[in-house]
């Protein structure tokens, strides 16, 4: 059974990632406790945990503020994620996974293709998110997966905003590159070639999304 502080942590983090608590917003500890139907102690524990992970800033006498991400922050985080994912792809390709093992990636790409066809941008973004998390999980390295998911969690709000600002042509290209990587893994492409393929795709994606944030002159997300 989940502890109350874990429940509070998950809920408040979701509020931040979905911008229900937008960048710069002040978090009312008492209101959060009331909304979650729990005492303030587990909420306080959750807020301290979120501060340690970089989501919040608890200032003495200044309240609890949701920290924004700048374009530079996004770039830095994407570089970390890219490094982890490139290693994940190499580890995955090296063991030549079966099509059954890759079913999660197959489903994510299919969802991206369907969302692209129907113009559902947020659905596309969520499917893209699942693809990348599954890629790291399939590496077989639980520490890589944990660290990678932490950084994806940290950047998710900003990532989704950037995705919404891109056009269908970007989402079509991105869907195609995801499908190409999946097909390469299904065909047993070597570890080095697969890792190089993914590194190129990640670099292009990072440049496109961070560039969009700069283009729209968004100081923070």
| pLDDT tops 70 at residue 220 | no
Tokens representing 102 are 């890759």
Span 71-215 CATH architecture: Up-down Bundle (1.20)
The residues that bridge with 58 in the sheet, in sequence order, are 64
For CATH 1.10.10.10, the residue range(s) in the chain are: 4-66
Quick: pLDDT tens for 88-98: 999 999 999 99
Contact indicator for 64, 58 with CB cutoff of 8 Å: yes
Q: Does the pLDDT of residue 153 top 60, yes or no? A: yes
- Residue 69: the pLDDT is 86
Looking only at Cα atoms, what is the longest distance across the chain? 59
pLDDT tens digits, residue range 25-67?
999 999 999 999 999 999 999 999 999 999 999 988 879 999 9
Does residue 152 contact residue 133 with C-beta atoms inside 8 Å?
yes
What's the mean per-residue pLDDT of the chain?
A: 93
The second-level CATH assignment, the architecture, of 4-66 is: Orthogonal Bundle (1.10)
CB neighbourhood size of 123 (10 A): 15
Domain with CATH 1.20.120.530 in the chain: 71-215
- Percent of the chain residues past pLDDT 70, beyond the cut: 97
Closest CA to 15 of 153, 164, 159, 166: 153
pLDDT at residue 1 in the model: 55
């Amino acid at each position: 059974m989940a502890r109350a502080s874990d429940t509070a942590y998950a809920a408040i983090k979701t509020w931040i990632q979905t911008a229900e608590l937008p960048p710069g917003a002040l978090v009312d500890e008492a209101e959060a406790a009331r909304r979650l139907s729990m005492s303030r102690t587990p909420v306080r524990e959750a807020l301290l945990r979120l501060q340690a992970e970089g989501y919040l800033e608890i200032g003495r006498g200044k309240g609890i503020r949701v920290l924004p991400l700048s374009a530079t922050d996004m770039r830095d985080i994407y570089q970390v994620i890219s490094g982890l994912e490139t290693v994940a792809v190499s580890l995955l390709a090296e063991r030549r996974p079966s099509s059954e093992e890759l079913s999660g990636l197959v489903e994510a790409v299919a969802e991206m293709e369907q969302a692209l066809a129907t113009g559902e941008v947020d659905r596309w973004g969520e499917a893209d998110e699942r693809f990348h998390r599954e890629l790291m999980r399939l590496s077989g390295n639980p520490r890589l997966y944990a660290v990678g998911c932490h950084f994806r969690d940290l950047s998710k709000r900003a990532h989704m905003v950037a995705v919404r600002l891109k056009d269908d042509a970007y989402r079509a290209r991105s869907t195609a590159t995801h499908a190409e990587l999946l097909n390469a893994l299904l065909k047993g492409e070597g570890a080095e070639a697969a890792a190089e393929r993914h590194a190129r795709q990640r670099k292009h994606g990072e440049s496109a999304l961070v560039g969009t944030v700069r283009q729209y002159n968004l100081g923070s997300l």
